[in-house]
Amino acid sequence: MSRRIFVGVFEHEADVIEAAGASREHGFEFVDAYTPYAVHGLDRAMGLERSWLPWACLGLGAAGLGFATWLQFWTMTVAWPINVGGRPWNSLPAFVPVMFELTVLCAGVGVVITFVIARRLGPGRTPEIPNIRVTDDRFVLVLDAGASDPRVVRRVFEHCHAVTIEERDVEDRR
Amino acid sequence: MTGALALSVGVVLAPERAWANVLLAGYALTGLGLAGTFFVALTYASDATWATAFRRVPESMTRVLPAAAVVLGLLFVLHPSLYPWTLEDAAEVGGFKHLWLTTPFFLVRALLYFGVWISFAAALVRNSRRQDEDGDAAWTRRNIRLSAIFLVLFALTCFLASVDWVMSLTPHWYSTMFGVYNFAGLFQSGLATMILIVIWLRRAGPLRGVVHDDHLHDLGKLLFAFSTFWMYIWFSQYMLIWYANIPEETVYFIPRMQGAWQPLMIVNLVLNWAVPLLALMARPMKRHAGMLTKVALAVLVGRWLDLYLMILPTVSPAAPPIGPSEIGAALLTAGLFLRVFTGAFQQAAPVPVKDPFLSESLHYHS
């Protein structure tokens, strides 16, 4: 399946934020925004919803914590109890460092892997870059052209000092 | 005033305890002043522009350092015998410690610490205020250089001061984590204080329209992070001592984990760590002024309890004391801090009006 998109290229950070805000007011549908660095406030202008990744992070952290607790409890008291200086088998203070580290490790690494999978990134995938200069100094806003009037989109983008505006057909890989 | 009065009553009733509370008050005030200075220096040295909008708050906090020096000075001069090593036979403490822990050297070091802190804090604040007049970026550059030097000196002096003033209350005990542990509590409580003041000033007027939820969000993140840092350091100290189980090290924890001290020890961990961790984990909570206020208050009570648990068991190992001295010390600290802070804050514009980074800070998105 292919679909029609608008690609607006902007020269300044403020312009792309303005264009995103105006597009939202006009009810255009966003495909994505491409910027050479994280532009603060762009997510707000686009009206993006909060990501669900923090919840994934929390879950992964809890899983890491649970795993570390179980692993140490089971190895140290059930599977292979060792007498360390006469302490009880089940000595919680000694377990805490590993519990902490595994929580952080699972949450940190796990959330990156989750992100890569959720966004279908990773090795072997050719990135879709609408305009090569987003890797340098340009800002790009991509809209779904399906529902909107091309003339209105052009007018809005031009009003926000777009450098180029093009309509394109792309393969829909959603 | 009432605080000072109650403390004087305490001095008559139970002198040893009252002086321990003087130490608690003076050390807590020092911590707040240092946290302000450290925050200002940190933001300068790291080119952090988000905090410029409310930088006058930590700047004014630094002004409590001289007051703290007076409170601690009273203790060191009038009642040095709070420190057991002043009475013990020097040879008994042994080794390097009997060279380090001598009254004249102790006083010289205290003067040196406060000299460094007060002069750097005063210079940073003075340069920042002068910039209000001419808007010259050279003041910022000068402060960046001062901040870098201060941060190094601060690391050393803050560590040594905690060893001198608190750890040496039990001269035979030592913990290499102690300085970091004290720094963690110092910065955490300083952040909590800044959050309370910033929210209050935003509501009262001077910072209305200047400080946004984004600024609160970042302060909340820092408080959240440093609560966990504090717990990390607290536990690092505890676990090493628990694991090694050497009598000369466990001597610190034994009185603090027995009798009525034990529940306080647990409450300390709850207030300083569990409350901020759970309450501030979600993003909307870090941006919510009401929630931040509650958590910051919990952390401040926790900080007081933390210092109480460091200091008071050395004079009252049997049970946690509460009386005119304890209440007096808390009132004295709060009263003195608020009076000095409001005085200092009113001396200059509530916002560094000509700071080159102000506009960036006003439009900050976290």
Q: What is the pLDDT of residues A52-88, one digit of tens each?
A: 999 999 999 999 999 999 999 999 889 988 888 888 8
CA distance B190 to chain A (A): 26
Given this model, what pLDDT does residue B11 score? 62
Contacts of A100 in chain B (CB under 8 A): 232
Closest approach of B234 to chain A, Cα-based (Å): 12
Mark yes or no for CB contact A93/B242 under 8 Å: yes
Architecture of the domain whose range is A2-50+129-171: 2-Layer Sandwich (3.30)
- Token readout for B329 is 């010390």
Residue B198: which pLDDT band, with cuts at 50, 70 and 90? Answer: very high
Domain positions in chain A: 2-50+129-171, 53-118
Round the average pLDDT of chain B to a whole number and report it. Answer: 88
Domain spans of chain B, in order of start? 2-335
**Rounded distance, CA B314 to CA B17, Å?**
9
B-chain residues near A93 (CB < 8 A): 235, 238-239, 242-243
Across B123-146, average pLDDT: 88
B257 contacts B242 by C-beta, under 8 angstroms: no
Contact between B268 and B231 (Cβ < 8 Å): no
The verdict on A118 touching B (C-beta cutoff 8 Å) is: no
Q: What is the pLDDT of residue B91?
A: 56
pLDDT of amino acid B234: 94
B242 to A96: CB separation less than 8 angstroms, yes or no: no
- Cα maximum dimension of chain B: 62
Does residue A41 surpass a pLDDT of 70? yes
Q: A152-173 pLDDT, tens per residue? A: 888 888 888 888 888 887 776 5
Partner-chain contact B235 A96, CB within 8 Å: yes
The token pair at B32 is 């707040």
Prediction ipTM score = 0.78
Report the amino acid identity of residue B290.
G
Range with the poorest average pLDDT among B132-136, B194-198, B292-296: B132-136
Q: What is the pLDDT of residue B154?
A: 94
B240 and chain A in contact, CB less than 8 A: no
Task: Calculate mean pLDDT across residues A126-136.
Answer: 80
Q: Is the pLDDT of residue B77 over 80?
A: yes
B242 touches chain A (CB under 8 A): yes
Could you tell me if A88 lies within 8 Å of chain B, comparing CB atoms? no
Query: For residue range B209-246, what is the model confidence (pLDDT) as tens digits?
Result: 888 888 999 999 999 999 999 999 999 999 999 988 88
**B366 within 8 A of B145, measured Cβ to Cβ:** no
Task: Name every chain B residue with its beta carbon within 8 A of the beta carbon of A17.
Answer: none
SS3 B322: coil
pLDDT band of residue B14 (cuts 50, 70, 90) is low
